[in-house]
Structure 1
Amino acid sequence: GEIYAIENYCPHAIQTLTDGEVFGSMIKCKKHGAVFSLVDGRCIGNERIGNLKKYSASVVDGAVIVKL
């Protein structure tokens, strides 16, 4: 499949998304329920929160490479 890399902090309350619920190509912030696209970092349903940075990611020889 696909591999995506986005910023790890919800801009709403600087909450990490590490513990967020992933469903399909989206992740939900555990603290406030904001939903973000894993594909492009876009906030879904509440644009006032803001979008996440998206990073280029690939797999090379079994290692995930993220270009910051």
Structure 2
Amino acid sequence: MTFVKVCALEEIPEDGALGVEIGDTPVALARTGGEVYAVNDICSHAEVSLSEGEIYNGTIECWLHGSCFDLRTGKPTNPPATQPVATYKVKVEDGDVYVSLGSDD
């Protein structure tokens, strides 16, 4: 599994999100409760950027129609979205955030 350095931890606002690209993959990094999560940055319902939404109660909310996605699983927690978004492994080392898109990246 290959991890790619994407940003400094301080670039992600506490209880907020930051959109980044890893290759051709848009990724939303979310920081809440002292943890950093990474999910695909495109809402499975409306195809807009999730990183522009709000972070609360372990979810990221799509700003367009209000669907929320669990940051741990990517599953939608309310409609209108019915399909999950991909989640990615994250590690923080020496103040930097690293993301792995999967075992074959």
TM-score (norm 2): 0.59
Return structure 1 stretches of 4+ with deviation > 4 angstroms: none
Once the two structures are TM-superposed, the CA of residue 9 in structure 1 deviates from its matched residue by: 0.7
For the pair 1:56 / 2:89, whether they are aligned, the reply is yes
CA distance in 1, matches of 2:35, 2:72: 9
User: Unaligned 5+ residue runs, structure 1?
Assistant: none
CA distance in 2, matches of 1:46, 1:37: 13
SS in 2 for 1:36: strand
CA distance in 2, matches of 1:46, 1:18: 18
For the pair 1:34 / 2:57, whether they are aligned, the reply is no
Superposed CA deviations along residues 11-32 of structure 1, whole A, max 9, x for unmatched, are 1111101210111211110001
Q: What letter corresponds to residue 4 of structure 1 in structure 2?
A: Y
CA distance in 2, matches of 1:32, 1:47: 7
For the pair 1:46 / 2:79, whether they are aligned, the reply is yes
Structure number with greater Rg is 2
Q: When the two structures are aligned, how many residues end up with a matched partner?
A: 68
TM-aligned CA distance change 1:34 to 1:48, over 3 Å: closer
User: Unaligned 5+ residue runs, structure 2?
Assistant: 1-33
SS in 1 for 2:52: coil
TM-score (norm 1): 0.88
